[in-house]
Amino acid sequence: MMQVVRATFGIILSLSTSSLLVQAAKHHNLHNPMALKSLVKNNINQRFKVDRRAINFTAETYSHHQENFQVNQIERGGASRSSLQSKSPIDTQKYVTMTKVALSTFIGIILFQQIHQNRHKLPSKEEIQNFAFDIATNIKGRGHIGIVYYVLGLACFEIFGISTCPVEISGGFVYGIKKGFIINLVGKLTGAMTAFVIGRILLSSAIRSKFLSPPSVGTGKGTSEISTSAQVIQLVQTSITEEPFKTALVLRFSMFPQLLKNLILSVLEPVNWSLFLFVTSMQVTPFTLLFTCLGYDSAQRLLFPDLKTNYILSGCFLVSTIYGIFGGTTITALWYHSKSKKLKAKK
How far from 187 is each of 39, 69, 155, 258, 271, CA to CA, in Å?
80, 64, 5, 15, 21
- pTM flag (> 0.75): no
75 vs 224: which has the higher pLDDT? 75
Residue 238 has pLDDT above 60, yes or no: yes
In angstroms, the CA 147 to CA 145 distance is 5
Instruction: Pick the closest to residue 271 from 347, 333, 207, 342 (CA basis).
Output: 207
In angstroms, the CA 245 to CA 309 distance is 39
- pLDDT of amino acid 5: 44
Least confident of 54-63, 165-174, 196-205: 54-63
339 vs 218: which has the higher pLDDT? 339
- Specify whether the CB–CB gap between 328 and 253 falls below 8 A: yes
**pLDDT tens, residue by residue, 98-117:** 787 888 888 888 887 777 77
- pLDDT of amino acid 73: 53
Dihedral (CA of 15, 20, 21, 26) sign: positive
**pLDDT tens, residue by residue, 306-318:** 888 889 999 999 9
In angstroms, the CA 279 to CA 241 distance is 16
In angstroms, the CA 17 to CA 25 distance is 12
How far from 243 is each of 227, 270, 346, CA to CA, in Å?
23, 9, 16
In angstroms, the CA 151 to CA 180 distance is 11
- Specify whether the CB–CB gap between 266 and 195 falls below 8 A: yes
Residue 298 has pLDDT above 70, yes or no: yes
**pLDDT tens, residue by residue, 14-42:** 444 445 444 544 544 444 545 544 554 55
In angstroms, the CA 295 to CA 172 distance is 4
Portion of the chain with pLDDT greater than 70, in percent = 63
pLDDT band at 237, cuts 50/70/90? confident
Looking at every residue in the chain, the average pLDDT score rounds to: 75
**DSSP H/E element including 66:** helix 33-75
In angstroms, the CA 268 to CA 234 distance is 11
119 vs 215: which has the higher pLDDT? 119
Per domain, the residue ranges of the chain are 2-78, 127-346
- pLDDT of amino acid 48: 47
In angstroms, the CA 285 to CA 261 distance is 16
Residue 67 has pLDDT above 90, yes or no: no
Phi, psi of 58 (to 5 degrees): -65, -45
34 vs 341: which has the higher pLDDT? 341
Q: Taking each helix axis from N to C terminus, what angle separates 165-175 and 125-141, rounded to the nearest 10 degrees?
A: 70
- pLDDT of amino acid 192: 95
Portion of the chain with pLDDT greater than 90, in percent = 23
In angstroms, the CA 271 to CA 335 distance is 19
- pLDDT of amino acid 34: 53
